[in-house]
Structure 1
């Protein structure tokens, strides 16, 4: 039977009507859900107080994410402070973040109110490297009994193995000789000092943790150095996940998962050292940090809540290696760059070294008081290098007042250490390399209150004494043996700052002319 011509258009019209009704319902549902989401967004992001720190207008859902340069967040934070003040705020998604800037405000927060800024926020990107309970390490561990236990243990153990003592001083001086020997082997030709400096500084923390120094070409040592550097770079490349705290977005498959693989690789190396120490350990004689930690594990055996466990040992060793290598090595590299860019300063350092040490005497910390200009130069290198422009974030334990503003409980807070080291109210020439910042009218060294490269408060760097020793002995030894200059036909070193959690100089070449 043939279908009537009039029936076909009617069927089409009926289907069209049904489809239109369906899409109208979908549109209405979408609009309703969007309105509910906007309402939820508004409720979650309401300011809790009229005294909440000022900041830019946020966009729904994204907050101020588009205003933050996640490759150089410290620059974005500086611009926010310039516009909104020393205590300002912004939002990433639904998360409130406050930025503190300038010596006065940061001193108030980390000095007078340090207890309120002692806790760390949960950051999923950091959690990717370890999911074990009671395994937080020390750098980003939450403020509690476990962190207090490990910080106290780390400081006391490092002291026992020489931090701030002559035993370690001798090892640093010995390593400085190895480094000078490598520089001398270049025979005055052009070279990039970065790799050699990293190896020398890395060996000091390896001596403390593993009980031995490595040859600069040792395969295991090279892997440790490479993996540490790559993990730092990967964290920096994945800062969006770092900022979106407590968010499932941090666990979406993507490039940031490379961090877990890198950490797994370095963990395997560290576990091999731990297992070897278990076999060869003599309870009556502690060789290094691992031996000391294993002894504590024996003491608390059977306690499920203790922070002394093998997973935490591995995590803490990584924290020590990463923090103990990148910071001091980058500072020394900045120092070498400043010397070739400021030959007049280099000449005065050479003259003081010649007067106090001569060409042959190995520098020691006892010589430091007799070398005020060299000491001032090292401090000014640290100030200008500003290698940690942002302290690791805190989360407030309760509502706290800072700079006449109220920061609500559980707000993530960043301290701009860069703003302290370059505070125009505290330094005569904050944006210039000026060693006289640390000298009085008589040419004697003076401490400066706003000199906080190691941060302050409850999380101030526990390795500060060791870092000060390394910087003085390495820098003085290099300056004692060499005159540094820009290679012929090479441009002046680029002073661009490369951010990868810490800040290092752009790669540059120098000539080390033996003296």
Structure 2
């Protein structure tokens, strides 16, 4: 078997793109632990093509999701129907419109008040930030927000965070190599247990929506989906059914919570580590808005340094350093190299975001990376945090709105600093499905509005 594997690897290296030499059975996985070298990205050229828009079969994903929903669903008829419906419905409920902006601004008031409850004392901001971010997608999908002291929802967010960490851990990777272990006890069973609890929460919401559904007045995404199932009953090609609904709802809930929340947490770390940047942002915000008016998306051009800082947080945090995995849906060529159907494709965002050819300060946290010589905001073509092409992030508009309004509101009203007690901040963070910051504590102090 070893000799056959070595022969197979060597025989197919001729026309495939250059890269680390794969080892028998484990491929290039060991290479991921080495420092990522800067590469000249061809990501845009590849991902705008449908041929690179598939999702590979992964045993862990299949075990959990049965490949339903949107994010990890294979490229095809079901995925197209589900994504098209989700985009259309989210827009109907305010995505990209003033109504969602108003929801984020209203939630930012709750978030600021929550973080100032223990003013001057050491707090871990994780729960408040996760709750605030999650409440926006919850208001669209479930039609309600949850208070920060809601113990059931707090427990759910804890499970959500734990789920992403476990899925990206060694237990999740080992499962993908040896899926037969699902029949045996082990840490991988905790992944399924967490996922089952998350599904239970969705099913409970759906049951409640069924009992109170008004066909003439849908309240949220779940209501709209229930009505679509009824509408598509006579359509043989329909992929609208309850199992797809549950996974689509869960996809929106998962994607609409953790990535943005962890980006904001990384943002607090970088802003405290760079107090000069924090102060310059605050001064710009107060000069333009004062203390009484919260920001709006229309203020982005008036706050170029703050807007650049938010993008620099995304670049340095790099929440998904290898992107969401893709797969070729058919045999294709790229820059003279052959890609057989079923080739797994990952994006080296860590290299793209630190490429010396495209960034003025590639290895440092510096908002000047997103400012031109006149101090105006400028976005490099190498900034592709939300991917691109047919698989571009479904919630990009929502994430951009939340990041700008939450971070700007927080910097307007609060000064952030480290507590006096020593704590070790590992800037490498924790790698799970996403790039998480380690737990940390901060001091929040209300800004003097009489300045």
User: If the length of structure 2 is used for normalisation, what is the TM-score?
Assistant: 0.93
Does the CA contact (< 8 Å) of 1:48 and 1:408 recur in 2? no
Does the CA contact (< 8 Å) of 1:41 and 1:60 recur in 2? yes
Equivalent residue runs for 1:395-414 within 5 Å: 395-414=327-346
SS of 1:128's equivalent in the other structure is helix
Larger deviation: 389-398 or 445-454? 389-398
Change (3 A) 1:272 1:53: same
Between the aligned partners of 1:504 and 1:197, the Cα distance in structure 2 is 14
Change (3 A) 1:369 1:56: closer
Aligned residues: 445
- 1:496 aligned partner: 428
Between the aligned partners of 2:175 and 2:288, the Cα distance in structure 1 is 48
- 2:61 aligned partner: 126
- 2:308 aligned partner: 376
Aligned with 1:188 (options 120, 141, 159):
120
Aligned with 1:108 (options 42, 45, 51):
45
- 1:416 aligned partner: 348
- 2:94 aligned partner: 162
SS of 1:484's equivalent in the other structure is strand
Equivalent residue runs for 1:158-237 within 5 Å: 158-237=90-169
Does the CA contact (< 8 Å) of 2:175 and 2:188 recur in 1? no
Gaps (5+ residues) in structure 2? none
Establish whether residue 346 from structure 1 lines up as the match of residue 283 from structure 2.
no
Please state how far the C-alpha of 1:407 moved relative to its aligned partner: 2.2
Between the aligned partners of 2:16 and 2:22, the Cα distance in structure 1 is 15
- 1:390 aligned partner: 322
Between the aligned partners of 1:355 and 1:60, the Cα distance in structure 2 is 60
- 2:250 aligned partner: 318
- 1:466 aligned partner: 398
Between the aligned partners of 1:61 and 1:376, the Cα distance in structure 2 is 44
Between the aligned partners of 1:405 and 1:391, the Cα distance in structure 2 is 22
Between the aligned partners of 2:336 and 2:176, the Cα distance in structure 1 is 26
CA offsets, 1:227-271, max 9 Å, x none?
Answer: 211221221123424653xx6446452321322222111111111
CA offsets, 1:147-181, max 9 Å, x none?
Answer: 01111111111111111111111111111111100
- 1:117 aligned partner: 52
Q: Which has the larger radius of gyration?
A: 1
- 1:257 aligned partner: 189
Change (3 A) 1:58 1:467: closer
Larger deviation: 388-397 or 138-147? 388-397
CA offsets, 1:467-500, max 9 Å, x none?
Answer: 0110111101111111111222434743232111
Between the aligned partners of 1:317 and 1:481, the Cα distance in structure 2 is 34
SS of 1:297's equivalent in the other structure is helix
Aligned with 1:240 (options 173, 196, 214):
173
CA offsets, 1:342-364, max 9 Å, x none?
Answer: 11111111111111110110211
Kindly report the root-mean-square deviation, in angstroms, between the aligned alpha carbons of the 2 structures.
2.1
SS of 2:168's equivalent in the other structure is helix
- 1:15 aligned partner: none
SS of 1:121's equivalent in the other structure is coil
Between the aligned partners of 2:237 and 2:163, the Cα distance in structure 1 is 29
Between the aligned partners of 1:276 and 1:252, the Cα distance in structure 2 is 34
Between the aligned partners of 1:437 and 1:123, the Cα distance in structure 2 is 37
Aligned with 1:429 (options 343, 361, 364):
361
Establish whether residue 145 from structure 1 lines up as the match of residue 82 from structure 2.
no
Please state how far the C-alpha of 1:433 moved relative to its aligned partner: 0.7
SS of 1:415's equivalent in the other structure is coil
SS of 1:511's equivalent in the other structure is strand
- 1:52 aligned partner: 16
Does the CA contact (< 8 Å) of 1:483 and 1:514 recur in 2? yes
Larger deviation: 277-286 or 222-231? 222-231
